[in-house]
């Protein structure tokens, strides 16, 4: 199959728009390989206790010489049941299980005491292409790639049922037996929308004359265990198809952006795009990577999706270059490279910083439109290769994660998929690893604040999440006595506090309320806050450096009553919560408790005043940020860049450091976010903020 990147042009509202996206497949012949068989497992059955009444504890003695009755006698509501190899089953009230386990585990005569964990049979889908081999348009093929990414183990956790993924492609043959639900498996196509019909004569109808969109959709969500054709990682996932590519595989960024906005309004949680900018130069007839530049309209749509908690996945490109492509290279997008089934990055795939995760993309068999069948009759299947084929696997993985834990944010899912990917095993290196779906599902139990992200805060108390925690509540629409001036996150990122200039404190999520200065007459307004290390208390700081402590926050001193050259504008707590720094608008630093002094800009002429600070994770350094985005580093704080010297639309109002201290975010008063070091972009409040932004927290 030829690679379709034909250039086209059209006019929209008087402006010339150059076709800038194309389907991503490469012409590589199919190869044969055996899919690894699965082993079914079933547990032995036991007589169940009445639901909710009793729980089972299994106990093994440390030695056969131990008299079990001496150890477990009286612990069980019924006589213990002997089991093979010196084990016993105890039936105890569920409420007593923790105490019984603690007692048994503390006894040296007990080898272990556990509550049995549930197991279930491993399901092997009966789709021929998955079980063994199948004929795909004259090519013998199988689906060994599903074992490479851990699909069998992932299916034991979830099938992804109920999650809808938006696919932006060339359309879909919704009548395909692996997609139409006619076998009772349920229609996999939840929507079919033609976006490009109004501006491209080659984009008529809802079908798929190219085949690319149908192939991608099958990889993502083909009906699994229906006895025909192929299985998909997204066993129970549904798809809304947004047709943005024509019969030649061409499209434009306006239609892509429109489809993204429509998908967000349809409340999808994942967007999958197996397409990329086409850098074909009509004047030379050659491909020029320099022509592949970010498009403001498309980029704004991607940012909008990220800000609305959507996981955005896109193909890295098939040019075999260490060159960025779009939409894959917009900040926050999962850019997918292609490997073979051994984890080797393929020569046709983009590599380096152009890709931050990979999945198999060589000789992938999937659904194919009836109108393109050759030589046999429908249902049709085809073998294709490319980053287009890798992308829907990552999108399906994201959908499975959402089904398993709907509370996770889009940025958290992206972070988990990247952090759990295992290393690729050859070819050109990428800035990421090979998709590992079971590992990603297992990692969902981690506390949310382990992930790289931020919260942007408006003076009206509106909160704009950028990945570290979910938006657990806001003050937007509530009449406030004074504007919000700051925020602090709880220790696990499961809650946060907002504070107003009168010292009013508002707690959300798991963050507890420990008191405030609301209603107390203050000498100077409150300008910020910081939380203790365990999240059981917080400090408020006023413009004169007065400190107010609540919960387990200790008082270590203040500048209240001291004549200051400039007002205090912020504070940061030490990692152990036994001290804090205060910073003034001239960059003067005041240390209390175990906070060390590492330098300041006090006495230095600044272009713009200091507006905030952030401490390094070990407490041995800190950054200061000025209103023009200038960064000043002290102690072990490293310089990763700044906006100093750049003309900004609005002043910078605050900063936050990444959890590992390898980067930082700056926030401007209009909600714009600037990233440096390992800080990733997860969206902004620009254009969405209902009041001036006052800070950013992480």
Q: Which residues are catalytic?
A: 169, 212, 388
- Beta strands 495-500 and 484-489 are antiparallel
129-162 CB burial, b ≥16 within 10 A, e <16 = bbbebbebbebebbbbbbbbbbbbbbbbbbbbee
Percent helix / strand / coil, the chain, rounded to 5: 15, 30, 55
Instruction: Report which of 609, 218, 665 is spatially closest to residue 452, judged by C-alpha positions.
Output: 665
- Which tokens go with 230? 């192929």
> What are the residue ranges of helices labelled H in 654-696?
none
Report which DSSP code applies to 196: G
Report which DSSP code applies to 664: E
13-35 CB burial, b ≥16 within 10 A, e <16 = eeeebbbbbbbbbbebebeebeb
Instruction: Report which of 682, 7, 680 is spatially closest to residue 277, judged by C-alpha positions.
Output: 7
- Beta strands 357-360 and 433-434 are parallel
* CA atoms of 250 and 256, how far apart (whole Å): 11
Question: What are the beta bridge partners of residue 266?
Answer: none
To the nearest 10 degrees (0 to 180), the angle between helices 212-221 and 387-404 is 30
Instruction: Report which of 119, 110, 58, 108 is spatially closest to residue 83, judged by C-alpha positions.
Output: 58
Length of the chain: 698
Instruction: Report which of 119, 113, 118 is spatially closest to residue 57, judged by C-alpha positions.
Output: 113
**Cα 378 to the center of its chain, rounded Å:** 38
Return the half-sphere exposure (C-beta side, CA atoms, 13 A cut-off) of residue 85. 5
To the nearest 10 degrees (0 to 180), the angle between helices 387-404 and 410-420 is 120
93-98: long-range contacts at Cβ-Cβ below 8 A with a sequence spacing of 24 or more? 93/53, 93/54, 93/55, 94/52, 94/53, 94/54, 94/55, 97/55, 97/57
Name the helix (H) or strand (E) containing 302: helix 296-307
> Helices H, strands E: what count in the chain?
11, 41
* CA atoms of 640 and 567, how far apart (whole Å): 27
Instruction: Report which of 614, 593, 599 is spatially closest to residue 656, judged by C-alpha positions.
Output: 614
* CA atoms of 399 and 484, how far apart (whole Å): 36
Instruction: Report which of 30, 31, 77 is spatially closest to residue 56, judged by C-alpha positions.
Output: 77
513-536 CB burial, b ≥16 within 10 A, e <16 = ebebbeeeebeebbbbbbbbeebb
Contact (Cβ atoms closer than 8 angstroms) between residue 531 and residue 552? no
In SS3 terms, 600-640 reads as: CCCCCCCCCCEEEEEECCCCCEEEEEECCCCEEEEECCCCC
Who's near 490: CB < 8 A, 6+ residues apart? 449, 496, 497, 509, 510, 511, 531, 535
């Amino acid at each position: 199959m030829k690679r379709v990147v034909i250039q086209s042009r059209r006019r929209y509202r008087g402006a010339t728009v150059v076709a800038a996206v194309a389907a991503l497949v490469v012409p590589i012949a199919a190869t044969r390989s055996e899919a690894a068989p699965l082993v079914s497992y079933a547990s032995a059955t036991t007589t169940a206790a009445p639901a909710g009444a009793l729980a089972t504890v299994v106990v093994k003695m440390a030695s056969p010489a131990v008299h079990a009755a001496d150890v477990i006698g009286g612990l069980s509501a019924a006589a213990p049941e002997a089991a093979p190899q010196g084990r016993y089953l105890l039936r105890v009230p569920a409420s007593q299980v923790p105490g019984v386990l603690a007692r048994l585990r503390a006894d040296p005569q007990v080898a272990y005491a556990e509550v049995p964990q549930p197991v279930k049979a491993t399901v092997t889908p009966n789709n021929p292409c998955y079980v063994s081999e199948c004929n795909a348009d004259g090519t013998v093929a199988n689906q060994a790639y599903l074992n490479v990414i851990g699909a069998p183990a992932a299916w034991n956790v979830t099938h992804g049922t109920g999650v809808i993924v938006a696919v932006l492609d060339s359309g879909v043959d919704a009548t395909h037996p692996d997609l139409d639900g006619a076998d009772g498996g349920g229609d996999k196509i939840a929507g079919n929308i033609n976006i490009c019909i109004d501006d491209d004569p080659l984009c008529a109808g809802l079908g798929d004359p190219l085949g690319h969109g149908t192939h991608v959709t099958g990889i993502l969500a083909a009906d699994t265990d229906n006895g025909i054709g192929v299985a998909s990682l997204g066993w129970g996932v549904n798809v809304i198809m947004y047709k943005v590519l024509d019969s030649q595989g061409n499209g434009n960024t306006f239609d892509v952006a429109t489809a993204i906005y429509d998908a967000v309004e349809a409340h999808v949680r994942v967007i999958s795009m197996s397409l990329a900018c086409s850098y074909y130069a009509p004047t030379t007839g050659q491909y020029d990577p320099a022509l592949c530049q970010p498009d403001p309209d498309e980029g704004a749509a991607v940012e909008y999706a990220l800000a609305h908690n959507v996981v955005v996945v896109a193909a890295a490109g098939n040019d075999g270059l260490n060159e960025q492509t779009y939409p894959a290279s917009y900040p926050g997008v999962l850019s997918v490279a292609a490997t073979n089934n051994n984890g080797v990055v393929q020569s046709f795939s983009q590599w380096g910083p152009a890709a931050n995760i990979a999945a198999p993309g060589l000789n992938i068999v999937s659904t194919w439109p009836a109108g393109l069948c050759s030589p046999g009759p429908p249902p049709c299947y085809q073998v294709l290769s490319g980053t287009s084929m890798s992308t829907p696997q990552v999108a399906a993985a994201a959908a499975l994660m959402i089904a398993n834990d709907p509370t996770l944010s889009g940025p958290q899912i992206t972070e988990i998929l990247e952090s759990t990917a295992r290393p690729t095993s050859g070819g050109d290196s990428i800035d990421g690893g090979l998709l590992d779906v079971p590992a990603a599902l297992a990692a969902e139990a981690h506390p949310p604040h382990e992930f790289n992200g931020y919260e942007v805060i408006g003076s009206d108390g509106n909160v704009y999440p950028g990945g570290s925690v979910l938006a657990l509540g806001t003050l937007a629409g509530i009449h406030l006595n004074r504007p919000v001036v700051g925020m602090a996150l709880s220790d696990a990122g499961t809650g946060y506090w907002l504070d107003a200039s009168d010292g009013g404190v508002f707690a959300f999520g798991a963050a507890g309320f420990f008191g405030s200065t609301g209603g107390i007459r203050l000498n100077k307004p409150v300008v910020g806050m910081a939380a203790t290390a365990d999240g059981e208390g917080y400090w408020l700081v006023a413009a004169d450096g007065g400190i107010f402590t609540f919960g387990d926050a200790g008082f270590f001193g203040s500048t209240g009553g001291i004549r200051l050259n400039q007002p205090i504008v912020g504070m940061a707590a030490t990692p152990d919560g036994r001290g804090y720094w205060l910073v003034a608008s001239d960059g003067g630093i005041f240390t209390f408790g175990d906070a060390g002094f590492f330098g300041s800009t006090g006495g230095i002429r600044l272009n713009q005043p200091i507006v905030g600070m952030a401490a390094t994770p070990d407490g041995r350094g800190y950054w200061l940020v000025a209103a023009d985005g200038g960064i000043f580093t002290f102690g072990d704080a490293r310089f990763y860049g700044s906006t100093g010297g750049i003309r900004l639309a609005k002043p910078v109002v605050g900063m936050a450091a990444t959890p590992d201290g390898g980067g930082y975010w700056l926030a401007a008063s209009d909600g714009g976010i600037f990233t440096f070091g390992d800080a990733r972009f997860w969206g902004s409040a620009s254009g969405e903020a209902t009041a001036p932004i006052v800070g950013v927290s992480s």
